[in-house]
Structure 1
Amino acid sequence: MFIADSDRIKSFTWADKSDRPVHTLNCMKTHRGPLVLLPGGRLLRAGRGSALSWTLDALQTHGRGPKFARMAQARFGCVASTSNTAVPAARYLGHAGVITDFSTSEGDANMFLTAAGDGYARLYDRRKPLPALTFDVEKFMFSGGNKTEGIKCWDVRAKKCVYELSTGNTTVTGIAWSPTQSTLYAATSSAYLDWIGCFSDYRDFHMPQGTDIMPSKSIRTVYWPDRAIHVENAFGYAYDAGTHALLRYAFKEKPELDVLPEYGDGRPTDEDDFFF
């Protein structure tokens, strides 16, 4: 698993069951775009006008710096190039904002999706420069929302939302799909937790009359963000993450309905929470 912020990329492995990173890669505060892992262990991260490239097998923990791969492109352009050259092989048009994410398809190698700061997602056939479809959504297919505090699944042909997933009142900063495990991962951030760990804008939990949507084992007092987009029973099960989180959604024929996320510790601000 690769996780990035504006400065670095860190890699982790589930196998070791450890929170220590395997690699820490320097992005030089200039490359803040999406990541892609290529066959052969090549990792790329996009920036404006260039991309950073690492060969993972050649890196030690906190390994050597990246190779700069310069690509001349338009301000809001999308280009394709081979893994061993920086010369653009194709250009794709249609965006009116910086491209923030993209996704490829294992089922059709010619199709890919992009999401941009102009508020649209676009489906491309790599053999054509213009998009085949444009979606008026925050992102695409599985779309993660900042203002909507949730994840939506879209029917591409019908251009309609099929269902929505709870993120525990957090905003979505990145999503990744694992086709082999039928699992969706989402990196999220809580707008109700500040940089020093203090909660803000929490109120008493409002249990809708005549319903029982809290975990049966929950005996402690819980709270709900006052500015949350969703009400407590919006998803049938009340869940507030109360912190930044990496969420995992497993899609199965026979789901384990008793496996539910633990309710967070968000609470109204207390004077004791402040440090001077």
Structure 2
Amino acid sequence: MRILVVGDIFGRPGRQIFHDLLPGLIHQHRVDFVIANGENASGGRGITSKNADEILQSPVNVLTTGNHIWEHDSIKPYFETHPILRPHNVDSALPGKGWGVFTSSSGCRVCVVSLQGCVFMDDKGMKAMNPFQSMDTLLKEISPISDIIIVDFHAEATSEKRALAWHLDGRVSALLGTHTHVQTADEEILPNGTAYISDIGMTGPHASVIGLAKEVAILKFLTGEKKKFKVAEEGLALNAVLCEFSIQTGKALSIERVRATN
């Protein structure tokens, strides 16, 4: 089972390159199932229903998100009708779900979990509950009904990501970090079969400061002045990881980084 997981789609440039490159990547890598993080798809902050419709026209199976998902009210009804996940470990009274089991074309039951970190995330969106405890509880429910379990861990701190990966090693098929927008070079398969990377990276404008126009970010660092948030436009690239799993065991067989440009 070959699964492509695409890093944070950032703004209009990210949506465009995702649309342009995804079909070719699916064909090139013989991909069976596609997950993408839509956290920053609309102006770099959250995702609107209109942009969700646009992204879901591409051959993607499910969208994960993160702390910015609450920026646009129009997306909330979509949680009930579209394959879009909000973070699992937030107040259960909030709309939507943080996980789902999706059946691939071959009949494989792929459980996707959208999870949010706590370290250095206090000022970023809805407060998240302990991701370690949340996953321990959730696994009791999802393990019996899943062949493969993929966790998109949307978190700031590498230490929190690595600690959770070790905690879940052998109990999930992959724990893949998102949120920092910089693809890391630490992909590996842990001893008990869980694929891991600290951050998949960003799909969008890389001639930027993690998606933000360079001049806006530099001015803030130089003077403290905050200018209007502006999405960069240049240096477009799609960042992803390609993972292969055994359907029989749910364990990872391989993980490799993907970086694609026009």
Q: Normalising by structure 1, report the TM-score.
A: 0.29
The structure that has the greater radius of gyration is 1
More strand by share: 1
Q: Comparing both structures, which one devotes a greater share of its residues to helix?
A: 2
